[in-house]
């Protein structure tokens, strides 16, 4: 499959190269395409694609320049390459500029502040131990379902104070939210909206309970009792729910799976970690860089501007390919290698930059760190016994299955 990527990337004219094709992400053949763009045309215009014309920003420094300039590059028309029909549009604070963006973001950010993370650490560790202890020995199982999804969904349920027995609904809604008709799926916009309306109905019941109760440290209560969010229209409430569910789910979930895959494919790095468990935090950062669980973010130009010698026009769609910038060896030495103790290991793009930098990044790192600490403590010997199944998406860079076996 990778050969197909090499052949396509090298054999077609640059003007015809469209890196948005979801199939390339599903079969893991996207890498040569980004390598070619970084080398030959780092600010690349694609005239024709299923998503219309768009600019690809593929190098690290250019991505940072776009991400940190919210006045010229706005997120108000969406953060994915897909143009969402107006009747299905849901506002959220990631699609807003100042001051409203900051007011709504600041409403929920205390839940991932250092003092609250310190309170959550013991809970996360207890849950990780329970999950690892419950895994079958000497039998094949899906790591994505039994570890990656289970851990992150339990955490999401805690953050929302969501009924624990219904927590898998959060995973379901997250998957639906990032599934759009133009990313290789059969689901229609109307079907997607109908399912997400069920999400809104469920959370609206929780909202009514919280707004009539004393404020608590959960996301629904925080929004219900904040002047910046308590008057949200239902569509905006849904948009922020989707943002928080997806943000709390996909980065951690897919890095949990990717991390195991990378360690098993690079056994010298796993030995290095086992010999020196103090490298766990560094390893977590390298896992998040190497996985890049959110492949891209979109902006639109608010004015004519020049980047990389190219004229970007007002209104043009600009795609920051984090997944490419994280492999830019002009900034990250030997970027295609997985190295858990590399210099400046936190110097990656996976959380974004600027005002939209991932609000939950420290919680994601905490969950991954605890998971690897407990896996090392338990001396788990996990075998990967089949190829991973990847998600057919150019936005969420992730997995639907990874068959493994734990040797008793």
pLDDT value at residue 179? 84
Q: 104 or 250: whose pLDDT is higher?
A: 104
| 398 and 391 Cβ atoms separated by less than 8 Å | yes
Give the tens place of pLDDT for each residue, 272-325.
999 999 999 999 999 999 999 999 999 999 999 999 999 999 999 999 999 999
Our CA angle for 64, 69, 71, nearest 5°, is 160
* Distance from the Cα of residue 362 to its chain's centroid: 14
pLDDT value at residue 5? 52
**pLDDT of 2 higher than 60:** no
- What six digits make up the tokens of 91? 């506002």
What are the structural domains of the chain? 14-407 (1.10.630.10)
| 158 and 220 Cβ atoms separated by less than 8 Å | no
Average pLDDT of the residues in 342-353: 97
Q: What is the pTM of this model?
A: 0.95
Indicate if the alpha-carbon torsion angle 346, 348, 351, 353 is positive or negative.
Answer: positive
pLDDT value at residue 187? 85
User: Nearest 5°: phi and psi at 54?
Assistant: -160, 155
DSSP 8-state code for residue 309:
T
pLDDT band per the 50, 70, 90 thresholds, residue 3? very low
Average pLDDT of the residues in 372-398: 96
| Neighbour count for residue 131 (Cβ, 10 Å) | 16
pLDDT band per the 50, 70, 90 thresholds, residue 182? low
Q: 186 or 25: whose pLDDT is higher?
A: 25
Q: What rounded mean pLDDT belongs to the chain? A: 95
Residue 224 burial class via C-beta count within 10 angstroms: exposed 0-12, middle 13-18, buried 19 and up? buried
**pLDDT of 183 higher than 60:** no
**pLDDT of 392 higher than 80:** yes
Average pLDDT of the residues in 233-256: 94
**pLDDT of 1 higher than 60:** no
- HSE on the CB side for 101, CA within 13 Å? 14
Residues 6+ apart with CB under 8 A from 94: 75, 79, 101, 243, 356
Outline where DSSP puts E strands in 99-230: 140-142
**Measuring CA to CA, which residue among 362, 376, 367 is closest to residue 125?**
367
308: left (phi over 0), alpha (psi -120 to 50) or beta: left
- What six digits make up the tokens of 350? 């996976």
**pLDDT of 184 higher than 60:** no
Rounded Cα gap, residues 157 and 159, in angstroms: 6
pLDDT value at residue 152? 96
């Amino acid at each position: 499959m990778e050969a197909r990527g090499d052949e396509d990337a090298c054999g077609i004219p640059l003007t015809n190269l469209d890196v948005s094709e979801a199939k390339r992400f599903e079969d893991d053949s996207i890498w040569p395409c980004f390598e070619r763009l970084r080398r030959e045309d780092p600010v690349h215009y694609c005239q024709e694609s299923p998503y219309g014309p768009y600019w690809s920003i593929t190098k690290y420094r250019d991505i940072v320049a776009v991400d940190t300039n919210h006045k010229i590059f706005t997120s108000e028309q969406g953060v994915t390459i897909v143009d969402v029909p107006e009747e299905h549009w849901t506002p959220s604070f990631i699609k807003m500029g100042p001051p409203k963006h900051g007011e709504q973001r600041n409403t929920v950010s205390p839940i991932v502040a250092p003092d609250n993370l310190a309170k959550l650490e013991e809970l996360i560790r207890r849950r990780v131990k329970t999950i690892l202890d419950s895994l079958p020995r000497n039998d094949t199982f899906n790591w994505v379902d039994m570890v990656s999804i289970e851990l992150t969904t339990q955490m999401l349920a805690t953050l929302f104070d969501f009924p624990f027995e219904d927590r898998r609904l959060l995973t379901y809604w997250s998957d639906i939210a990032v599934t759009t008709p133009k990313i290789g799926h059969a689901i229609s916009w109307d079907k997607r909206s109908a399912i997400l309306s069920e999400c809104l109905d469920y959370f609206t019941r929780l909202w009514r309970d919280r707004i009539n109760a004393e404020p608590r440290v959960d996301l629904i209560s925080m929004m219900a009792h904040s002047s910046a969010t308590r008057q949200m229209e239902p569509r905006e409430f849904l948009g922020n729910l989707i943002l928080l569910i997806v943000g709390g789910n996909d980065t951690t979930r897919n890095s949990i799976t990717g991390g195991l895959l990378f360690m098993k494919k690079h056994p010298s790095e796993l030995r290095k970690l086992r010999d020196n468990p103090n490298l766990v935090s560094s390893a977590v950062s390298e896992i998040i860089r190497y996985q890049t669980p959110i492949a891209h973010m979109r902006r639109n130009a608010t004015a004519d501007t020049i980047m990389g010698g190219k004229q970007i026009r007002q209104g043009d769609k600009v795609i920051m390919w984090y997944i490419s910038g994280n492999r830019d060896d002009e900034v990250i030495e030997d970027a295609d290698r997985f190295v858990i103790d590399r210099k400046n290991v936190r110097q990656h793009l996976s959380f974004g930059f600027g005002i939209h930098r991932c609000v939950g990044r420290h919680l994601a790192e905490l969950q991954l760190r605890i998971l690897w600490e407990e896996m090392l403590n338990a001396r788990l010997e996990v075998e990967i016994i089949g190829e991973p199944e990847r998600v057919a998406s150019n936005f969420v860079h992730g997995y639907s299955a990874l068959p493994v076996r734990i040797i008793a």
